[in-house]
Amino acid sequence: MRYFIRRFFFFLLTLWTAVTLNFIIPRLEPGDPAESIVRKLVGQNKAVDPAQLHAIRLMLGMPGGNIFQQYIEYLGTVCHGQFGISYTYFPYSVTSLIGQSIWWTVGLVLTTNIIGFVVGNLLGAFAAWKRNSAFDSFVSVGLSFVGTLPYMWIAMMLLFLFAFLLQWLPMSGGFSETATRQLSWGYTIDIAQHAVLPALSILITGPIGWIMGMRNNMVQTLREDYTRLAIAKGLKPWKVALLYSARNAILPNVTGFAMSLGGIMGGVVVVEEIFDYPGMGRLFFEAVGNRDYPLMQTILLFTIVGMLLANLLADFVVGWLDPRVRKGER
């Protein structure tokens, strides 16, 4: 119990630190969102009227006062779940914009993460069990080379081949412009077709980290005494591989998987921008480009909270799977 209480206390402390940094970091960026909006209206080379700046700030609800007063006001809005109006998509609220984008990102990133984690760990465990075989050599050398390829290049090649040349799949967006946007088989298939290329660009390199990590960890556990004892007792190979070796080898990957799930809120910025996918990554990219502080801070806040909750859950799961972690606290 002491182990879990300590982890929860560190979670609260880290959460407060992250929220504070989330307030400070965007304000270190030079420029004024209100001034950027006014200059788009009057022109870049013309003088800016202070009255116009003041009116824009009032319209957007930009906080006034010194930095400490803004920080106290920011903590109050966070505690009440009121994140303000988006500067980019005025007069829409930040929560409404995130509510529209989050499900696209959850559907894309959550699905690819789960598939990548399951497939990657199974392939990594099999490669370790069949170490020094042809399959193990392919995993170690071939996938290591594929893992060096950047997301951007893979996404653009898939887009050029399957969308431009072969025209099998849509080039961009999350759904067709002619879609009815009503729950039906046709609309579901249309959404799935638009998600194939972004998901494939992630899955080509996504499982490689799980494969290599599981293989290297399991090679070490196969040398442990308890694994050798299980083999000497004549247990079936699949029991030795899964219940003895893989169970211990997967523990570091559990933490990594939880962290990857926590990062879902941030989306996959590069992939979503290339495919014009209406997810959190593209929304965050637009918020940064337009100095949309409320939208930017809220997306970062959701990402941070998701990462911290995922890390806390991973600590609990690892403590449950491995009693040595809990005993180490004593």
Report pLDDT for 298. Answer: 85
pLDDT reading at 329 higher than 60:
no
Q: Are residues 142 and 208 in the same domain?
A: yes
Lowest-confidence region among 64-73, 118-127, 134-143: 64-73
Query: For residue 319, what are the domain limits?
Result: 94-329
Q: Are residues 250 and 279 in the same domain?
A: yes
Q: Are residues 300 and 206 in the same domain?
A: yes
User: Which of the residue ranges 20-24, 119-123, 230-234, 256-260 has the most confident prediction, judged by mean pLDDT?
Assistant: 119-123
Average pLDDT in the 210-227 region? 81
Looking at per-residue pLDDT, the higher value among 1 and 152 belongs to 152
Average pLDDT in the 158-181 region? 81
Q: Are residues 100 and 150 in the same domain?
A: yes
Tell me the average pLDDT of the chain.
Answer: 77
Please check whether residue 259 is in contact with residue 314, taking contact to mean a CB–CB distance below 8 angstroms.
yes
pLDDT reading at 56 higher than 70:
no
Distance between CA atoms of 226 and 197, rounded to whole angstroms? 44
Report pLDDT for 323. Answer: 65
User: Confidence band (pLDDT; 50, 70, 90) for 121?
Assistant: confident
Distance between CA atoms of 302 and 308, rounded to whole angstroms? 10
281 located within any domain: yes
Looking at per-residue pLDDT, the higher value among 259 and 257 belongs to 257
Q: Are residues 35 and 121 in the same domain?
A: no
Instruction: Give 238: exposed, middle or buried? Use CB within 10 Å, 0-12, 13-18, 19+.
Output: exposed
Distance between CA atoms of 80 and 23, rounded to whole angstroms? 16
Q: Are residues 154 and 178 in the same domain?
A: yes
Report pLDDT for 29. Answer: 64
pLDDT reading at 105 higher than 70:
yes
Report pLDDT for 177. Answer: 72
The domain total for the chain is 2
pLDDT reading at 81 higher than 60:
yes
Please check whether residue 123 is in contact with residue 241, taking contact to mean a CB–CB distance below 8 angstroms.
no
Please check whether residue 255 is in contact with residue 318, taking contact to mean a CB–CB distance below 8 angstroms.
yes
Of 46, 80, 114, the residue that ends a domain is: 80
Q: Are residues 251 and 217 in the same domain?
A: yes
Q: Are residues 155 and 101 in the same domain?
A: yes
Of 32, 53, 80, the residue that ends a domain is: 80
Please check whether residue 70 is in contact with residue 63, taking contact to mean a CB–CB distance below 8 angstroms.
yes
273 located within any domain: yes
